[in-house]
Structure 1
Amino acid sequence: MIEIRDIGKKYAMGGTTVHALRGVSLTINDGEFVAIMGPSGSGKSTLMHILGLLDTPDTGEYLLDGRPVSRLTEDELAVLRRDTVGFVFQQFNLLSRMSAAENVALPLLYSRRGMSAGKGVEFLEKVGIADRAGHTPAELSGGQQQRVAIARALVNAPKIIFADEPTGNLDSASEKEIMELLRSLNRQGITVVVVTHEEEIGRQAGRIIRMRDGIVQQDDAAATVADVVPVPSKESKTTRSGSGGTLAEYFEHFRQGFRTLLANKVRTALSMLGILIGVAAVVAMLALGTGAQKAIEAQIASLGSNLLVLRSGSMRMGGVRMESGASTRLTMEDAAAIGQKIKSVKETSPAVTGRGQAGFQNKNWNTSIFGVMPSYARMHSAVPPVGRFFTVEENSRRQRVAVIGMRIVRELFGDRNPIGEMIKIRKINFMVIGILPEKGANSFHDQDDLVVIPLLTAMYRVLGKNYVDYIDIEIEQAEDMEAAQDSTMEIMLSRHRIPPSLQQDAFTIRNMADIQNAVSASGRIMSLLLASIAAISLLVGGIGIMNIMLVSVTERTREIGLRKAIGARRADVMAQFLSEAVVVSVFGGVTGIILGWLITVVMSALAGWATSVSLGAVTLAFVFSALVGVVFGIYPARKAARLNPIVALRYE
């Protein structure tokens, strides 16, 4: 039963206050067929909107089935609109992109029963147009569209049908069909309230309420009363009004969102463009940064891991060795002493360096000469992929054997296999027994432009040195590196009797682990910087999505009003628009990931840049793009959800 007591409603129009309703009181019993009549501006539509829970009165009290409506929350009002009330609008308010069956089934989306086109066909059959179930509103006549609207109002089995000028846009034949349909529903026990200004329509109701200037002027039975079979009122249905939604609901929101976006392909593509560019930039930048970091780490690793490099003299200007101390020569005995006195030392490997001409037949190349111990191959990841490294015996016998870098192979031999060939190093014949693995250039030197020969051979046959230039010290565990470094310095200062005033510049120990950590940290910072720059594109893309979604909310204001009129809660409307924002951002993100990967492939192929697309970068880009959709979609979605149903329905 509907009961209103002293209802008042006023609107501010410009500087004028319009009193739409002035102290209206009436009661409508279950099963009645009521026509509310009056001229334009009489307040009849405002009264209907308040009775139908689309609007709220400024004063007075409204009781629906004994419940004070003013005490209900917005979600509770939405549940009543969904389960108790059905609306038939003069303008039909059908969604143009949906078929007739889908329009009818739309209220089911908000009733937790799940939107079903089959259910829509069932109710279209009840109003006599099941054969038009697959047609869109544009393919239906006015009378057919109004029948679809009535079927939509019935799909949740309401107790009350409100029809606002249901025949206002119809021809006379369609008008008769619609009124007969409404009378039939009333005979089934449904309360029907019709707003009309046509006397012939009003006379078909069981009761006429006439309004003028916002007050009830007359309330009596019609001259010709329709045959109404009194039906006991139905008990209120138990409904769920919680804020949560089912998985099927969210799936349907995403499906509808996808269809909406497809209906505006150009706008959707432009919305996606910002996200696409941003994600592609993130993937490409991170791939470039990660690839560069890995390449640098590989070069550092090629110098050896867990290594201390001991040299005489000091290093200045960013680690560049300027000069060696004249009185602090390193010796073979120094290397032996370090290995014996420091327990954490796995092995020591003294070495000498120099430069000289390497020649083969009529070709010559000036290169670096390294005299090293056999352990050099293992300590510096320099095991030859072709041929072999020299042995301890070959070193002790000062054999003239050489392992050459790939630059030497290319310059002296071209495509010829150098293994077993004789080359001249400083005019001394050496047999090539191996080729060093290709390592490329680093900040120190070209690691492929060198010749490696036995240490004793280099010292006494080629370079004429009685001392060594540096000593590689391999430590068992990485955590012992700092302690071993300190111990090495103490041993060297003691052995060479360096006075305190000269100790600072006597020896330099380079910790390869520290260098590797520093380079890795720099690489991570560079990757983060590149990703941050790319993230700005994502931010711009997110702002673009927000802008487009705000435009969409404005364009679809009437649709939002319709959804709220048929039972959508704020959470439902928010979910609808958020799903559209997420669909745009996720599709843009996936496309951006593919584009970013293609960019890295092109950079690697054309520019020769080291790139590495990691799963972490792809995951980060995807998650970030989805978050952009959620974050930048929240404001437009909230704006849509907060719209007043009747204000939204009136929007032009």
Structure 2
Amino acid sequence: MIKVSDITKVYQMGAVQVHALRGVSLQIKKGEFVAIMGSSGSGKSTLMHILGLLDVPDSGHYQINGQEVQGLSEDARAGLRAREIGFIFQQFNLLARISAHDNVALPLIYGNAPGDKTPDQLLERVGLGDRKSHAPNELSGGQQQRVAIARALVNGPPVIMADEPTGNLDSESAADILQVLQELHRSGLTVIMVTHDPEVAAAAERIITMKDGQVLSDTKGAGGTAESRSGNVESRRDGSSSLRRKPFREFAALLAQASRSLSANKVRTALSMLGVLIGVAAVISVMALGAGAKVAVEAQISAMGANLLVVQPPRPKSRGVSLGAGIVSRLSASDAGVIQDSIEGVQYACGSVNGNVQVTFDGNNCSTEARGVELAYETIHSMTPQAGRFFSEEECSSRARVAVIGTTVYEALFDGQDPVGQTIRINRNTFEVVGLLPDKGSSASEDENDQVLIPLSTAMHRVFGEDYVREIEIQVESADYIDSVETAVVALMNERHRVTDPENNGYETRNMAELQSTMAATSNTLSMLLTGVGGISLLVGGIGIMNIMLVSVTERTREIGIRKAIGARRNDILMQFLVEAVAVSLCGGALGIALGGGFCLGMRQFAGWAVAVQPITLVVALTFSVFIGVVFGLWPARQASLLQPIEALRYE
């Protein structure tokens, strides 16, 4: 079953070369119980490690079941080790954070074809059926070694290798373990045991004695002959084709192991999550506040009217007397009608005046803005009253004292009463309330509901004593007409009011689309800046994860060696540590989303800020947190996967 020819192994210890094996050759047949013994430094453990594919010789040949081992990749050796060999170590090498049952089941993650006994059945076989849920620190030394034996058998390997299996046990426990090994031998398994104790070696049917890296003798032991075996075990050299690996089972096992590992170091895990948590929360909050600000800006611009131009009187830019005759040009109430009738592309035009007023009703009063407008104002600004009506054309021409009030004014004056038909006083003038405006929302700088609308003629002659309008609002049919209408309106007003120096004293317009674009660009720039701050937080969190994972690799070097000894490939170790890193960042990201969402809700509830948490923001933040875990967890995971099995097992 096993054949080695002239294998050598030399260790470089500083400037000194230590020849651990010097041309060892031997054969072990299927079903033999072989004890390899010798004093410390004889090379017996090195030979065991090479036979168990945990180490490779410097020269020579090694065949197991006719397959040449020399030249195989590390992953190929791991696959062969998982199928052909079960290990029993002197130090037991059980994982401390999992139960006896989970320790026994561990090789099933990495093996292609499990044996015919379940972990529970194997624990029953070694007399620990009632202790399967206990952790290793809750078991005696003998019981831990029995768990190690069950683990070695779970994949049904034809070869069991035991490295000083009784070295850390009392005499009674040692006798029990030897009995178990003899039972395994009688069932047909090939058992190779390393020991320095002649009494233990006597339990084998063949004793190979080593000294100074060479085979000193090869004799029969007192443990019986091959003919005493009653069973037969066939090698599963091609086991990889009998049962394929199960990715879902492996991934589920990786998740369970990651959960156990992270929960075992709760404080460290929480600290490594903290950076990602803060970064994701910052990104969520910033993007939500930025999106909310953008929505608020769009709402304000929309409240002003779609495709809206605002014409204002000239503001003289030259010193001294302007406009030829020294007459200051204004906007008249008739200009709006002329603009609407004479310029192509104009849908509506509406003049307006405004000013602060005191409004009273039945002992209640408030300070608000009164705005004198024309009928088109209702359409331009989507101001159709939610109760009552807008004033009529006849009321506009007759300077009627009628008013349509905003919801803020209504709440301040009417205490829930129906305002329609009630009489209010605006700066000592009585007005009849004919309608209640729709709720247009508010921002930190302006409340669109805190106003009273009255007919333009009434405002000019009865309230403010104005002869001219402050501005004219123009709604253009479509955005395609805005530039041409803007040019035509300025030219018309300059001509109509005889402006002689239009470059310095011409009429001005404000384009709401440009204002909206400017405000949105400013909001986007601010959002990008703050998102960058959140990204830096995520970067810092990722570096924290990398540091923690590097520490974890160092602390768990022996665990990595154990996993590789029972068949774990490089990718298995890589994925295990990568899953842990991603789990940390994913949990941190999820908590960051919760924290960021809670912060946004708090700012909206208590500070009145506009926030808009968009689903794409959550997806991006969570995806980026996973990306952070993968990127910063990859290098530590790779470092873990590159560890050689024997070096990892010898750690500490």
Secondary structure class of the residue paired with 2:239: coil
Task: Tell me the residue number matched to 1:168.
Answer: 167
Using the size of structure 2 for normalisation, the TM-score is: 0.89
What whole-Å deviation, never above 9, does each CA across 1:185-218 have from its counterpart, x for those lacking one?
2233322211111112223323222211122222
Unaligned runs of 5+ in 1: 317-324
Alignment of 1:223-234 (within 5 A): 225-229=224-228, 234=235
Distance (Å, rounded) in 2 between the aligned partners of 1:576 and 1:102: 16
Q: CA deviation at 1:408?
A: 5.3
Report the equivalent of 1:159: 158
Q: How does 1:288-303 map to 2 (within 5 A)?
A: 288-303=289-304
Moved more, 299-308 or 526-535: 526-535
Matches within 5 A, 1:186-585: 186-222=185-221, 225-229=224-228, 234=235, 236-239=237-240, 246-313=247-314, 328-332=329-333, 334-354=335-355, 368-405=369-406, 419-425=420-426, 427-437=428-438, 447-448=448-449, 450-493=451-494, 495=496, 502-503=502-503, 505-585=505-585
Q: CA RMSD in A?
A: 3.3
SS at match of 1:239: helix
Residues 104-143 of structure 1 mapped to structure 2, 5 A cutoff: 104-112=104-112, 119-143=118-142
Measured after TM superposition, the shift of residue 340 of structure 1 is 3.6
**Contact 1:105–1:115, Cα closer than 8 Å, also in 2:** no
Give the secondary structure class of the aligned counterpart of 1:70: coil
Deviation at 1:397, TM superposition (A): 2.7
Q: Deviations over 1:210-240 (max 9, x none)?
A: 2111222223333664454575853523306
Deviation at 1:387, TM superposition (A): 3.7
CA distance in 2, matches of 1:137, 1:465: 93
Contact 1:311–1:507, Cα closer than 8 Å, also in 2: yes
Structure 1 residues 602-617: aligned runs within 5 Å? 602-617=602-617
Q: Is the 8 A contact 1:293 1:520 kept in 2?
A: yes
Q: Supply the distance in 1 between the matched residues of 2:515 and 2:311 (Cα, whole angstroms).
A: 14
CA distance in 1, matches of 2:622, 2:368: 49
Identity of aligned residues (%): 51
In 2, distance between residues paired with 1:360 and 1:175? 101
Q: 2:320: which partner in 1?
A: none
CA contact (8 A) 1:9 1:59 kept: yes
Rounded to whole Å, the distance in 2 between the matches of 1:541 and 1:243 is 38
Deviation at 1:394, TM superposition (A): 1.5
Is 1:41 aligned to 2:52, yes or no?
no
- Structure 2 Cα separation of the partners of residues 121 and 205 of structure 1: 28
The 3 A distance-change label for structure 1 pair 232 and 16 is same
CA gap of 1:518–1:443, structure 2 versus 1, over 3 A, is: farther
Residue number in structure 2 paired with 1:144: 143
Structure 1 range deviating more: 105-114 or 490-499:
490-499
The change in CA–CA distance for 1:411 and 1:136 in structure 2 (over 3 A counts) is: closer
Change (3 A) 1:176 1:464: closer
Give SS of 2:98's match. coil
Deviation at 1:120, TM superposition (A): 0.4
Sort the Cα spacing of 1:608 and 1:356 in 2 relative to 1 into closer, same or farther, 3 A.
closer
The separation in 1 between residues aligned to 2:7 and 2:505, in whole angstroms, is: 97
| SS across alignment from 1:297 | helix
What's the CA shift for 1:568?
Answer: 0.8
- Preserved CA contact (<8 Å) 2:115 2:154: no
- Post-superposition Cα deviations, 1:584-621, rounded to whole Å, max 9, x if no partner, equal 22223323322333333333343333333333333333
User: Distance in 1 between the 2:130 and 2:364 partners?
Assistant: 91
Distance verdict in 2 for CA 1:6–1:597, change over 3 Å = same
Query: Is the 1:328–1:506 Cα contact (8 Å) retained in structure 2?
Result: no
Q: Distance in 2 between matches of 1:178 and 1:561?
A: 23
Change (3 A) 1:113 1:21: closer
**Structure 2 SS opposite 1:71:** coil
Contact 1:421–1:431 under 8 Å retained in 2? yes
> What letter is aligned with 1:311?
Q
Say which SS state the counterpart of residue 55 (structure 2) adopts.
Answer: coil
Q: Map of 1:78-89 to 2, 5 A cutoff?
A: 78-89=78-89
Question: How far 1:523 sits from its partner (Å)?
Answer: 2.1
Q: Distance in 2 between matches of 1:603 and 1:445?
A: 18
| Alignment-mate amino acid for residue 559 of structure 2 | E
With the length of structure 1 as denominator, give the TM-score of the two structures.
Answer: 0.89
Q: Gaps spanning 5+ residues in structure 2: where?
A: 318-325
2:374 partner letter: M
Q: Deviations over 1:299-356 (max 9, x none)?
A: 232222221112232599xxxxxxxx95543345543343344443322222234566
Match of 1:594 in 2: 594
**CA displacement at 1:54 relative to structure 2:** 0.5
Q: 1:581 to 1:115 in 2, by over 3 A?
A: farther
CA contact (8 A) 1:310 1:510 kept: yes
Counterparts of 1:189 and 1:224, CA distance in 2: 14
- The answer to which of 47-56 and 625-634 deviates more is 625-634
1:422–1:430 CA contact under 8 A, matched in 2: yes
Q: Which residue of 2 aligns with 1:319?
A: none
Hey, what's the Cα distance between the residues in 2 that align with 1:115 and 1:405? 80
Which range moved further: 284-293 or 354-363?
Answer: 354-363
Structure 1 position 111, deviation (Å): 2.1
**Paired residues of 1:107 and 1:115 also in contact (CA < 8 A):** no
Worse-matched range after superposition: 579-588 or 428-437: 428-437
Answer with 230-239 or 204-213: which moved more: 230-239
Structure 2 Cα separation of the partners of residues 486 and 15 of structure 1: 91
Give 2:639's aligned residue: 639
Superposed displacement of residue 460, structure 1:
4.6
| 72-81 or 376-385: bigger deviation | 376-385
Most deviating of 393-402 and 554-563: 393-402
- Which residue of structure 2 aligns with residue 17 of structure 1? 17
Change (3 A) 1:442 1:140: closer
**How far is the alpha carbon of 1:80 from its aligned partner?**
0.6
Deviation at 1:416, TM superposition (A): 7.1
The corresponding residue for 1:180 is: 179
The Cα offsets for residues 145-170 of structure 1, whole Å up to 9 and x where unpaired, read as 21211111111111211110111122
1:95-124: CA deviation from partner (whole Å, max 9, x where unpaired): 1222222211110111256899x8101122
Cα distance in 1 for residues equivalent to 2:639 and 2:444: 57
Aligned residues: 642
Compared CA separation, residues 13 and 329, structure 1 to 2 (3 A)? same
Could you tell me whether the CA contact under 8 Å between 1:187 and 1:228 is conserved in 2?
no
Evaluate the alpha carbon distance shift between residue 349 and residue 103 of structure 1 in structure 2; reply closer, same or farther with a 3 A threshold.
Answer: same
**Residue 322 of structure 2: aligned partner:** none
Deviation at 1:491, TM superposition (A): 4.3
Distance 1:327 1:106, change over 3 A: same
- The residue type equivalent to 2:176 in the other structure is E
8 Å CA contact 2:204–2:222 kept in 1: the answer is no
* Contact kept in structure 2, 1:315 and 1:508, CA below 8 Å: no
Moved more, 429-438 or 371-380: 429-438
- SS of the residue 2:649 aligns to: helix
Counterpart residue identity of residue 606, structure 1:
F
* Offset at residue 471 of structure 1 (A): 1.8
The one-letter code sitting in structure 1 at the alignment partner of 2:127 is G
Q: For 1:414 and 1:258, how far apart are their aligned partners in 2?
A: 58
Provide the C-alpha distance between the structure 2 equivalents of 1:415 and 1:233, rounded to a whole number of angstroms: 91
Q: Which amino acid aligns with 1:269?
A: A
CA contact (8 A) 2:34 2:191 kept: yes
CA distance in 1, matches of 2:316, 2:22: 95
The Cα offsets for residues 510-542 of structure 1, whole Å up to 9 and x where unpaired, read as: 111221222222223323322322333332222
